[in-house]
Amino acid sequence: MTEQQSVVELEEIEGVGNQDDENLGEYPLDTMLIRSESRTIHDVLRRIGQSQFIMDPDFQRDFIWPVDKQSKLIESVLMRIPLPVFYVAENDDGKMVVVDGLQRLSTFRNFVDGGLRLRLPDHPDLNGKQFAELESKFKNRIEDCNLTLYVIDSKAPERARLDIFDRVNSGVPLSRQQMRNCLYMGQATRFLKQEAERSLFQQATGGSLNRAQMRDREFINRFCGFQLSPLNDYRGDMDLFLSETLKRMNALDHGELDRLSAQLRVGLANNYELFGRYAFRKHTSDQEGRRSFINASLWDVMSTGLSVYDESKVKEKQASLLSAFYRLLDDVDFSDAITLGTNQVIRVRRRFEMTSKMFREVLGA
């Protein structure tokens, strides 16, 4: 396989629906709940020190601005050049998650904390100096500089928050899961990361989910959602469903998370036992060679469906299960339910009902 083919396989997924497309026009204008605030650099850095600003979500790249670029930002402040606005999202705890402006805020913190010597050869009075070595007037100019923050309110509709996040972020385009990982940081997002790193997950998914875009964590997020919630809780909005799942997981106790982890591992082991490298992919009973893309909708029903059955029972009924599964894949209704309009309520319910019926017939209640 060429490098180009490998990249394509990592990025292509079937059965995920189409809610990655932003469309702010569908929201009533008075529900957007974005407010503007003005705060000094000193005030923002104080709040960062008190952990009121979340500066290091997993989706964000490490602080990588070179010294020259950091120095130019400080120079702009000293020259009173207006700065672009900053976007933050308020979470349920009232803390501010940095959506756009992490590099700039990190530069201010780095400089004020003494981690940066300015590289400004055109300004001999500033070149090579740390913050503590500046004249008082320059220190004051930096700390008193007003920053304009646009705050995305925690009460904004869930999908609207993601759509706004997507639109305003000026860095590398982010996946929906990266945004969720930022907005709902806590034990839930740590759980997704931990489970995605397990060798069993990598083995069962063929290592073909893009880790940089957090597609691996998105799949585990989907498992947790359908494992924890009754099917009727899914109302056709996958973004909302996955976000609500993370909020719910953040409130679970460790024992409940441990049980969820164990259930996921059982589901993965059973699927890999049955299908090997073709797990969670549409394929035929005599498939050989190149695999099709991993199918998110098939993942939903098969990872959760086989999580409640003992591995020895699945192995005992392997032949019957495989036969029933391939008949299911040949069913037009089921094929449509995992391929077309996959986020629609009717499609989600159909694929779960048909798969559950198959499991009951082969493995019992």
Report domain extents, the chain: 3-19+175-363, 27-168
Most confident of 99-103, 170-174, 208-212, 315-319: 315-319
pLDDT digits (tens, 9 = 90+) for 46-93: 999 999 998 765 655 556 789 999 999 999 999 999 999 998 888 888
Q: What is the pLDDT of residue 35?
A: 87
Whole-angstrom Cα distance, residue 62 to residue 47? 20
What is the percent of the chain where pLDDT is above 90? 68
Tell me which residue of 231, 219, 315 sits closest to 266, measured CA to CA. Answer: 315
The more confident residue out of 32 and 228 is 228
- Number of other residues whose CB lies within 10 A of the CB of residue 21: 7
pLDDT digits (tens, 9 = 90+) for 85-140: 998 888 888 889 888 888 899 999 999 999 999 999 999 999 999 999 999 999 99
The edge-to-edge listing of strands for the beta sheet with 53-54 is 34-40, 146-152, 86-90, 96-100, 53-54
Say whether pTM exceeds 0.85. no
Q: Which helix (H) or strand (E) is 38 found in, with range?
A: strand 34-40
Query: Looking at residues 310-324, what average pLDDT do you find?
Result: 96
